[in-house]
Amino acid sequence: MPVPRQILMPKLGLTMTEGTVTEWPLAEGARFARGAIWLIVENDKVANEIEAPEAGRLVKILVPQGEAVPVGTVLAEWEAEAGVQVPPASAAAPPAAPEHRWRKASPVELATARKLSESKQTIPHFYLATEIELGRLEALRAQRNARGAGIKITLTHLIVAAVAGAMARHPAVNCVWQDDGFVELEGVDVGVAVHTEHGLLAPVLRGADRRSLDELAAEMGALIERARAMALTPGDVGGGALTVSNAGMHDVTWMSPIINPGQSAILGVGAERAVFRPDAGGAPRLAREVGVVLSCDHRVLDGVRALAFLNDVRAVLEAPQALFDR
């Protein structure tokens, strides 16, 4: 009788210490071919499909779906079998629902639901909101894009650049809470929320404060493409202290997002609005503004430090020449 082999929780990134068994596509006793998906593991809101290295049979599942365990934990036992031919699997019928249609969550949706539920329950959120005037920034952005040189710059590129610079100047923001203490991060990595047809992902732009505006825009574009193609690598996810989530294209004025697990803040960005503000003489003046909400982990940041950071971001975006000179 062949000796069972082990399926271990894989290490899918440099900072990964544990993962969640999102799904066992195979039942105990099922036979599989080489390359078949035998396990789906969640790490930092990304579902990773793990392939069988060779044909065989799943002997025993030791860690059930939904359980988080450290890297290297034995998840199941299997044995190799040569020449396995696997018949097509029949789809399992969803639970009966007389009035409503039930749909199984995708691995990404399930990972997002679990992680954000955990975040809201365990992280003490507080929120700071402000308006940012974009008149000067939009004029400079239009001039730059009209030249047709380099990558077309978006408002999100400029917000991420402003946030990265402010994080470098406010190291208290570039920290996360872990094991009853603070982890002071070495580099400035900024997450970018991306909506995909499979669910919400938040890949991380590494070294965002050290990049030129063109470099930042190019790398963000590549990250977003990989996210939408479900082709993110382990190096694209995890780490960072803050994510930028721009929902302005959906015509929302204010958005108070939930902090991603493992981070300490997230900046929600709304749509640009035309509003009247008084000028120096008190007369109405038409301005273009965007509303932003900074969600913070109160274990890491207090109101004073978080406001200093948010005001810094606003000041840079309202006097934005330095962003275009990067």
| 236: DSSP letter | G
Distance (Å, whole) CA 323 – CA 73: 46
Enter the tokens of residue 79: 């044995």
Neighbours of 199 (CB within 10 A): 19
- Helix, strand, coil % over all residues of the chain, rounded to 5: 25, 30, 40
Distance (Å, whole) CA 143 – CA 20: 48
Tell me the HSE value of 109 on the side-chain side, using a 13 A CA sphere: 8
Q: Does the active-site annotation cover 125?
A: no
Strand pairing class (18-23; 5-8): unpaired
Amino acid at 288: R
Distance (Å, whole) CA 267 – CA 231: 25
- Among 125, 195, 198, 298, the active-site one is 298
Enter the tokens of residue 120: 């809201």
Distance (Å, whole) CA 321 – CA 234: 35
CB 205 within 8 A of CB 189: yes
E-strand ranges in 166-250 read: 175-178, 181-184, 190-192, 194-196, 199-201, 204-205, 242-246
| 193: DSSP letter | -
Amino acid at 55: A
Q: What phi and psi, each to the nearest 5 degrees, are found at residue 75?
A: -95, -35
E-strand ranges in 206-249 read: 242-246
- List residues with catalytic annotation: 298
